[in-house]
């Protein structure tokens, strides 16, 4: 481990799963429907015992819940989950199911010492707790029949699916109906193990209005940020690039890129907010244009606190900045993985349909 100003030649590497779940204590679950007019879903990052969190919103059309309480100085210090969903503002209802699931297990901000009256919501009495579940949604209503949106059941099922294994990516969970510019989007994840010993992971749901692939090269804008061999891509042929240009779908006018950065560092709420703000640079590195008035770009940061930082001073400041810069690259890599993993067969074509030779 090194301190501020000390050289370290050890290069960063991906975590063992190259996933957000490389940070212990974070569970990820998905639930979606991709049948009979459905193309939407929900993804949950569960931290039942509570972690410190921050948020930064950069898009012009956000759909969020419980983000104001993440500002420094608010009463509640820890969150129990982050809910990401499709369905535009309707999809915020998925967080209700996450709350019910956590509350039935006694996880949340305690508001009374005795078991509460559940009102039939769950079997038997549970502690008087209010689970803290910030949420963000994306616009995917063009992919599904009107009115078919995530509800509380989606959130509950996503919690039931949650585990510490590397999560499924592509057209799953909140990314089931996502479109990244003129290509199919989805869920992506990535991680990095820093030379200083901390782990930073990210999970993104790529649904931006901007493009994620350079039409001149057929390669994702975030491709150069990957570790050697991470994406397994080769430049597609000139003929394939020309054919792809003719097959790309028109980009949507309403979109959003949402997600979460997770670290094992012991960050304060203000520091989590700083990391979330810098992590948006990862969107700018992988999406062009980024943060448009038509997007609701929102990134959360979760800090489990399992690895302490220096209490104060320049060394701590330098390490927080290192974590923030790493978060930006991890977000960009997660966006690339989301697009490469997207399944064929949606309303808009997938990367693997347009550039099969790039995937070898």
At 78, is the pLDDT very low, low, confident or very high (cuts 50, 70, 90)? very high
Q: Which helix (H) or strand (E) holds 160?
A: helix 152-161
Residue 147: Cβ within 10 Å count: 9
Q: What is the CATH number of the domain that holds 106?
A: 3.60.70.12
Is position 9 within any domain?
no
Is position 1 within any domain?
no
Burial-class residue 345 by CB neighbours within 10 Å (0-12, 13-18, 19+): exposed
Measured between alpha carbons, how far is residue 122 from residues 50, 115, 119, 156, 307 in Å?
21, 13, 8, 12, 36
**Which residues, at least 6 apart from 321, have a Cβ–Cβ distance to it below 8 Å?**
none
Measured between alpha carbons, how far is residue 58 from residues 62, 223, 255, 276, 284 in Å?
8, 23, 13, 10, 11
At 282, is the pLDDT very low, low, confident or very high (cuts 50, 70, 90)? very high
Cβ atoms 54, 276 nearer than 8 A: yes
Asked whether residue 24 carries a pLDDT value surpassing 90, the answer given is: yes
* Neighbouring-strand partners of residue 116: 126
pLDDT in tens, 44-70: 999 999 999 999 999 899 999 999 999
Burial 68-97 (b: 16+ CB within 10 A, else e): ebbeeeeeeebbbbbbbbbbbebbbbbbbb
Of residues 353 and 122, more confidently modeled: 353
**Model pTM greater than 0.85?**
yes
Is position 157 within any domain?
yes
State the pLDDT at residue 115.
59
CA pair distance 259, 157, nearest whole angstrom = 19
pLDDT in tens, 285-310: 999 999 999 899 999 999 999 999 99
- The distance of Cα 93 from the centroid of its chain, to the nearest Å, equals 18
State the pLDDT at residue 117.
54
Q: Give the mean model confidence (pLDDT) for residues 67-96.
A: 95
Asked whether residue 6 carries a pLDDT value surpassing 50, the answer given is: no
Is position 32 within any domain?
yes
CA pair distance 80, 162, nearest whole angstrom = 13
State the pLDDT at residue 111.
87
Is position 172 within any domain?
yes
Quote the domain boundaries for residue 268: 20-359
Of residues 9 and 268, more confidently modeled: 268
Of 347, 93, 45, whose CA–CA distance to 204 is shortest? Answer: 45
* Residue labelled with tokens 């997600």: 259
Structural domain count of the chain: 1
Is position 11 within any domain?
no
Torsional sign, CA 287, 45, 305, 228: negative
Is position 125 within any domain?
yes
Is position 68 within any domain?
yes
Dihedral over alpha carbons 55, 57, 61, 67 (to 10 degrees): 30
């Amino acid at each position: 481990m090194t301190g501020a100003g000390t050289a370290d030649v050890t290069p960063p590497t991906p975590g063992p799963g190259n996933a957000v779940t490389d940070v212990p204590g974070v569970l990820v679950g998905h639930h979606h429907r991709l049948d009979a007019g459905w193309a939407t879903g929900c993804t949950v990052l569960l931290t039942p015992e509570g972690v410190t969190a921050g948020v930064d919103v950069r898009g012009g059309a956000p759909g969020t819940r419980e983000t104001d309480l993440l500002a420094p100085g608010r009463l509640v210090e820890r969150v129990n989950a982050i809910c990401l969903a499709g369905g535009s503002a309707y999809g915020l209802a998925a967080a209700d199911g996450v709350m019910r699931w956590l509350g039935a297990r006694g996880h949340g901000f305690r508001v009374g010492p005795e078991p509460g009256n559940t009102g039939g919501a769950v079997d038997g009495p549970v502690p008087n707790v209010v689970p803290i579940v910030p949420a963000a949604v994306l616009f995917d209503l063009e992919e599904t029949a009107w009115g078919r949106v995530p509800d509380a059941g989606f959130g509950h099922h996503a919690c039931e699916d949650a585990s510490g294994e590397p999560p499924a990516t592509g057209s799953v969970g909140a990314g089931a109906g996502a479109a990244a510019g003129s290509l199919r989007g989805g869920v992506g994840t990535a991680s990095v193990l820093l030379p200083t010993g901390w782990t930073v992971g990210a999970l993104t749901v790529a649904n931006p209005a901007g493009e994620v692939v350079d039409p001149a090269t057929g390669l994702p804008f975030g491709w150069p940020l990957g570790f050697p061999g991470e994406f397994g891509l080769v430049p597609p042929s000139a003929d394939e690039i020309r054919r792809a240009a003719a097959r790309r779908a028109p980009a949507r006018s309403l979109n959003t890129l949402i997600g979460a950065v997770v670290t094992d560092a012991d960050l304060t709420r203000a520091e989590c907010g700083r990391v979330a703000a810098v992590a948006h640079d990862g969107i700018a590195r992988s999406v062009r244009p980024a943060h448009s008035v038509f997007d609701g770009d929102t990134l959360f940061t979760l800090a489990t606190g399992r690895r302490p930082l220096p209490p104060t001073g320049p060394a701590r400041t330098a390490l927080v900045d290192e974590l923030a810069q790493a978060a930006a690259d991890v977000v960009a890599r997660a966006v690339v993985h989301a697009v490469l993993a997207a399944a064929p067969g949606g309303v808009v074509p997938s990367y693997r349909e347009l550039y099969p030779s790039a995937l070898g």
